[in-house]
Amino acid sequence: MDFYQRKELAMSTVRNLFIVAIIIVVLFPVLYIVSMSFNPTGSLGADLLPERFSLDHWRYILGLPYRDALNGEWQTSSFPILTWLFNSIKVSLITSFMMLVLSTTSAYALSRFQFKGRESSIIVLMVVQMFPSIMALVAFYLMLDFIGQYVPALGTDSHWGLILVYLGGTPFNIWLIKGYFDTIPKSMEESAIIDGCTPFQAFYKILLPMCAPILAVVGLLTFISTFADFIVPSILLKSQENLTFAVGIQLFIAEGFSGRWGQFAAACILGALPISLVFFSIHRYIISGLAAGGVKE
Amino acid sequence: MKKFEWRYLFVGLINVAIIAFAWLAALQGVAWISLVSVVLLAIFDVVFLLKRGYPYRYLFPGLVTFLVFMVFPILFTISIGFTNLGTGHMLSFDVAKNILLSERFVPVGSPVYELQVGETVHSYEIFLTEEQVEKKFWGSIEKTSGDFSINLQAFDHNLSDFSAERNISLLSKRRVYQLMSFLKKLELVLPGGENLYYSGISKFSAVKSRYMEHKEKRDVLVDLQSGEEFYPDMDEGVYKGKGEFLSPGFSVSVGFKNFMRLFSDSKIAGPFLKVFIWTFVWALFTVVLTFAVGMILALMLNKDTMKFRFLYRMLLIIPYSIPFFISVLIFKGLMNKDFGAFNEILMSWFAIKIPWLEHSMWAKVSCLVVNLWLGFPYMLLVLTGILQSIPADVYEAAKIDGAGRWTTFWKITLPMIMSAVAPLLVGTFAFNFNNFVGIYLLTGGLPPMEGAATPVGDTDILISYTYRLAFEGGSGQDFGLASAISIIIFVIIAVLTLINFRLSGVIKKKDA
């Protein structure tokens, strides 16, 4: 091994150590939370490595009977944590599905037809998609409050009202999907139409299956961002059993930080794991999508 | 045979549903909603029934939701910014006036009747007792009756015998309390013709209207108890008498007053300026820090010689894959001053404690640190993609020319990726400008600013300040001021968007 090779080896070791050190620092909160969720002490400031392994916190958040840390009695949690998770999944699923229906059809019109107002629609969509909807919070609240006086199922404290607010955010997705449609040659649909398909059949029997990857990505991205949204449900939802996971878990921990730390840790993992997995399954597409759109949401 | 067209069934059903909805809205007295729905329905019918409307059929559903739940709320927010809408000023003038006109009072000396309510399967039974002269009355009303007027008759039986005889179950105070909204609508007519109204828990009295509209002066209210006149103040949105004003007030247009308050009212303008500056500092520092860290890591992991670079990259991206709200709440626990893991470690290693979230400067640093943790993986991801698009021979050429690593980065790599990176940086800036979760869930905007007239803290950014003004109660909700700040955010974001379109060159292309 000559001097040059040895220098290279030393440099590479240093680089690896540096990166590993950074990874440890970066992953510290994650590891800590995993450890906390199995630590029976469960208060803020417990040791990083638990002395005993316990599933009590997991039983707590899953609504199973658990042994109370203080008096040793068996009891069940009074917080509907699983309901919150279910609410979030329900709202996110419905939002993603309806978002796909609304944005694929609109994108199809903008990509495949020539009609009056097409150019200006494209410009309006492009400009408006840059405004995050949270800037119109006050209006959303007052609108749904008003609607709720007549149709309670669409008002504040309702999941459908929340979903409607999210559906206003179609432009960004129309934009993404239209971009993808534009890259697919028209010839396939055209020949199908000549063979007797209606344009609508050509749309959903030929074009949509060809675009499955982008549709999956848009659907999952919508799912993630809806699931992770805090601000809109925090102003719209009120009753405990209606809350989404984000709002519920924030209330749960804001009321008693030190005592509920272990249960909170378990709940965090339960809520984050599915989202994390979804994210890693599509993160390659996210890079290109984000690079085009510029922002996360 | 002609194929059955599902389209007509679909259009028909939508028509029935929307017309029913418009009808209901009109019955409820919100005519503008029925008008808007009928107009939208007409457009819908044209689009879905005429051949020429074909392309619009695909556009229509997405466009309508976008208009109703995006464009309209934005315009609505802008209009609220020019009103005093908020606690005490939530109602329109007419509604507030009618509420005042329906207010009643019990004249001094008029008899008070104690209420007892009984229930049968079909009816409510009302029993009244006048305490001083021991007079009793009874009346009955069908549960399903839409009429709320009951004629009472004198009653001289024993109440418990009478109710047992007729299968009437007497209700507890608690149940009576639950019926309050129903009881409030009742008008009980005594045999002598005098009307009694609900006048307090379990009490009915002969009440009188408190206010009356002035006979000559329109919209002026006269207090029948004191004779005082109240004039509507259309600048402040309240009825004003001599020094007194009536509640509820109403919402009025206040022109640019909300903006004037933001810039000249010393108790609001000072904190607002601080929040404004911190919002820019926060967004800018976040962009610079995440970019720097993301860039260093991306460059290090871009070397082919690094063995586990894919694994390393995956591990480093983990923070980005966790929903932000969860990570931020975890950090809030870790940064707890007395019990948090950070201070535990600092205590055992260096015997110091840092007030991560309590002290103004540390709270700002904490926000930036947490946001760096949340945001650098995004930069790492995107920069890796961009760096890989640089052809390798460029670097080889630089090496041959004798350029060092440092020179190569500043003179070659950075300029080459800048056109791709610049719009991303502006986009990240815009995102963090409104990064509510990154601030609110960590510090709640705290620590509070001293001497401020509104709820505001040292780490508040514009969007969290807006949220607290509108929804955090405490000193009341101020939708007008909150919307005025939203308008300012709109303008800033619009400028950033324009810059971004310029940078990414979208605006030059005619049809993007």
Q: How far apart are CA A164 and CA A167, in angstroms?
A: 5
Measure the N-to-C terminal CA separation of chain A; round to a whole number of Å. Answer: 52
What is the pLDDT, as a whole number, of residue A43? 67
pLDDT (tens digit per residue) in B117-126: 888 888 888 8
Residue B221, min C-alpha distance to chain A (Å):
28
Q: Is the pLDDT of residue B276 over 80?
A: yes
Q: Is the pLDDT of residue B280 over 60?
A: yes
CA-based nearest residue in chain A for residue B386 = A291
Q: Is A1 exposed, middle or buried (0-12, 13-18, 19+ CB in 10 A)?
A: exposed
Q: Are A15 and B296 in contact (CB under 8 A)?
A: no
Please state the domain extents for chain B: 6-80, 104-209, 261-504
- Bridge-based pairing of strands B104-105 and B135-142 is unpaired
One-letter amino acid at B475 equals S
Give me chain A's average pLDDT, please.
85
Token code pair at residue B434: 């409104």
State the complex-level ipTM: 0.90
Task: At B80, give phi and psi (nearest 5°).
Answer: -65, -30
**Does the distance separating the beta carbons of A275 and B312 come in below 8 Å?**
no
Q: How far apart are CA B253 and CA B14, in angstroms?
A: 38
Q: Is B246 exposed, middle or buried (0-12, 13-18, 19+ CB in 10 A)?
A: buried
Instruction: Tell me the pLDDT band of A292, cut-offs 50, 70 and 90.
Output: very low
What is the pLDDT, as a whole number, of residue A107? 92
**Does the distance separating the beta carbons of A150 and B65 come in below 8 Å?**
no
Token code pair at residue A187: 């010839």
| Chain B residues with beta carbon closer than 8 angstroms to that of A293 | 427
Q: How far apart are CA A146 and CA B28, in angstroms?
A: 12
| Chain B residues with beta carbon closer than 8 angstroms to that of A203 | 58
CA-based nearest residue in chain A for residue B301 = A19
Q: Is the pLDDT of residue B509 over 60?
A: no
Q: How far apart are CA A99 and CA A163, in angstroms?
A: 10
Percent of chain B with pLDDT over 90: 24
What is the pLDDT, as a whole number, of residue A297? 33
Instruction: Tell me the pLDDT band of B8, cut-offs 50, 70 and 90.
Output: confident
CATH, domain range B261-504? 1.10.3720.10
User: 């600013």: which residue's tokens?
Assistant: B449
Which residue has better confidence, B278 or A53?
B278
Least confident range from B1-10, B225-234, B299-308: namely B1-10
Q: Is the pLDDT of residue A118 over 70?
A: yes
CA-based nearest residue in chain A for residue B503 = A294
Q: Is the pLDDT of residue B331 over 90?
A: yes
Q: How far apart are CA B24 and CA B35, in angstroms?
A: 12
Instruction: Tell me the pLDDT band of A289, cut-offs 50, 70 and 90.
Output: low
Least confident range from A92-106, A167-181, B267-281: namely A167-181
Q: Are B34 and B22 in contact (CB under 8 A)?
A: yes
User: 């409050």: which residue's tokens?
Assistant: A145
**What CATH class does B104-209 carry?**
mainly beta
What is the pLDDT, as a whole number, of residue B141? 86
Select the residue from B10, B30, B32, B63 to test the A interface by mutation, using most A Cβ atoms within 10 A: B63
* Mean pLDDT, range A128-137, rounded to an integer: 79
One-letter amino acid at A185 equals P
| Chain A residues with beta carbon closer than 8 angstroms to that of B490 | 131, 135
**Does the distance separating the beta carbons of A230 and B463 come in below 8 Å?**
no
User: 């006149």: which residue's tokens?
Assistant: B229
What is the pLDDT, as a whole number, of residue A286? 65
Residue B69, min C-alpha distance to chain A (Å):
4
Q: How far apart are CA B77 and CA A13, in angstroms?
A: 57
CB-nearest partner of A139 from B73, B321, B497: B73
H-helix or E-strand containing B114?
strand B112-119
Instruction: Tell me the pLDDT band of A44, cut-offs 50, 70 and 90.
Output: low
**What CATH class does B6-80 carry?**
mainly alpha
Percent of chain B with pLDDT over 70: 97
Q: How far apart are CA B215 and CA B221, in angstroms?
A: 9
* β strands within B315-469, DSSP E: none
How many helices, marked H, and strands, marked E, lie in chain B? 20, 15
Please indicate if any CB of chain B lies within 8 Å of the CB of A9.
Answer: no
pLDDT (tens digit per residue) in A229-250: 999 999 999 999 999 999 999 9
What is the pLDDT, as a whole number, of residue B485? 93
pLDDT (tens digit per residue) in B343-401: 888 888 898 888 999 889 999 999 999 999 999 999 998 888 888 888 888 888 888 88
Which residue has better confidence, A295 or B312?
B312
| Chain B residues with beta carbon closer than 8 angstroms to that of A15 | 300, 303, 306
Give me chain B's average pLDDT, please.
86
Token code pair at residue A285: 């597409």
| Chain A residues with beta carbon closer than 8 angstroms to that of B341 | 32, 45, 48
What is the pLDDT, as a whole number, of residue A204? 84
pLDDT (tens digit per residue) in B14-66: 899 989 888 888 887 778 888 888 998 998 888 888 888 888 888 888 888 88
pLDDT (tens digit per residue) in A250-269: 999 887 767 788 889 999 99
Q: How far apart are CA A66 and CA A74, in angstroms?
A: 5
**Does the distance separating the beta carbons of B441 and A230 come in below 8 Å?**
yes
CB-nearest partner of A127 from B25, B382, B497: B497
Q: How far apart are CA B50 and CA B221, in angstroms?
A: 56
Kindly report the number of other CB atoms within 10 A of residue A267's CB atom: 29
Least confident range from B41-45, B130-134, B257-261, B276-280: namely B130-134
CB-nearest partner of B385 from A19, A26, A287: A287
CA-based nearest residue in chain B for residue A257 = B333
What is the pLDDT, as a whole number, of residue B510? 40
| Chain A residues with beta carbon closer than 8 angstroms to that of B321 | 275-276, 279-280, 283
What is the pLDDT, as a whole number, of residue B281? 96
> Could you say which residues from 198 to 217 on chain A have a Cβ atom under 8 Å away from some Cβ of chain B?
199, 203
Q: How far apart are CA B239 and CA B219, in angstroms?
A: 10
Provide the angle, in degrees to the nearest 10, between the axes of the packed helices B360-388 and B324-334. 140
* Mean pLDDT, range A270-282, rounded to an integer: 90
Q: Are A293 and A286 in contact (CB under 8 A)?
A: no
CB-nearest partner of B512 from A45, A126, A257: A126
CATH, domain range A81-293? 1.10.3720.10
* Mean pLDDT, range A273-285, rounded to an integer: 86
* Mean pLDDT, range B409-431, rounded to an integer: 86
CB-nearest partner of A102 from B62, B305, B386: B62
Q: How far apart are CA B184 and CA B450, in angstroms?
A: 46
What is the pLDDT, as a whole number, of residue A191? 86
What is the pLDDT, as a whole number, of residue B327? 94
Q: Are B230 and B220 in contact (CB under 8 A)?
A: yes
CB-nearest partner of B333 from A44, A199, A295: A44
**Does the distance separating the beta carbons of A272 and B58 come in below 8 Å?**
no
Q: How far apart are CA B240 and CA B230, in angstroms?
A: 5
Question: Which residue(s) pair with B104 in the sheet?
Answer: B209
Q: Is the pLDDT of residue A288 over 70?
A: no
* Mean pLDDT, range A90-105, rounded to an integer: 95
| Chain A residues with beta carbon closer than 8 angstroms to that of B317 | 280, 283
Highest mean pLDDT among B16-25, B192-201, B263-272, B317-326: B317-326
Residues 6+ apart with CB under 8 A from B328: B370, B374, B437, B438, B441, B442
DSSP secondary structure of B227-291:
--EEEEETTTTEEE-SS-B-SS-B--B-TTHHHHHHHH-HHHHHHHHHHHHHHHHHHHHHHHHHH
What is the pLDDT, as a whole number, of residue B361? 93
**Does the distance separating the beta carbons of B324 and A33 come in below 8 Å?**
no
**Does the distance separating the beta carbons of B297 and A291 come in below 8 Å?**
no
CB-nearest partner of B382 from A33, A143, A290: A290
A to B CB pairs, distance under 8 Å: 270
Q: How far apart are CA B91 and CA B330, in angstroms?
A: 41
- CA angle centred on B380, ends B379 and B381, rounded to 5°: 90
Token code pair at residue A228: 């992770």
**Does the distance separating the beta carbons of A135 and B489 come in below 8 Å?**
yes
Provide the angle, in degrees to the nearest 10, between the axes of the packed helices B414-433 and B360-388. 140
Token code pair at residue B79: 């209009």
Residue B288, min C-alpha distance to chain A (Å):
16
| Chain B residues with beta carbon closer than 8 angstroms to that of A142 | 76, 80, 85, 479
Q: Is A2 exposed, middle or buried (0-12, 13-18, 19+ CB in 10 A)?
A: exposed
Please indicate if any CB of chain B lies within 8 Å of the CB of A252.
Answer: no
| Chain A residues with beta carbon closer than 8 angstroms to that of B431 | 132, 295-297
Kindly report the number of other CB atoms within 10 A of residue B449's CB atom: 19
Q: Is the pLDDT of residue B508 over 60?
A: no
H-helix or E-strand containing B478?
none
**Does the distance separating the beta carbons of A114 and B55 come in below 8 Å?**
yes
Token code pair at residue B171: 């209700």
For the CA atoms of B355, B358, B362, B368, the dihedral, rounded to the nearest 10 degrees, stands at 120
**Does the distance separating the beta carbons of A122 and B80 come in below 8 Å?**
no
Task: At B126, give phi and psi (nearest 5°).
Answer: -105, 125
What is the pLDDT, as a whole number, of residue B79? 92
What is the pLDDT, as a whole number, of residue B323? 93
3-class SS string, B7-49 = HHHHHHHHHHHHHHHHHHHHHCCCHHHHHHHHHHHHHHHHHHH
Q: Are A138 and B463 in contact (CB under 8 A)?
A: no
Which residue has better confidence, B129 or B316?
B316
Length, in residues, of chain B: 512
CATH fold match for the domains B6-80 and B104-209 = no
> Could you say which residues from 57 to 96 on chain A have a Cβ atom under 8 Å away from some Cβ of chain B?
none
* Mean pLDDT, range B164-189, rounded to an integer: 84
**Does the distance separating the beta carbons of B318 and A276 come in below 8 Å?**
yes
Which residue has better confidence, B257 or A284?
B257
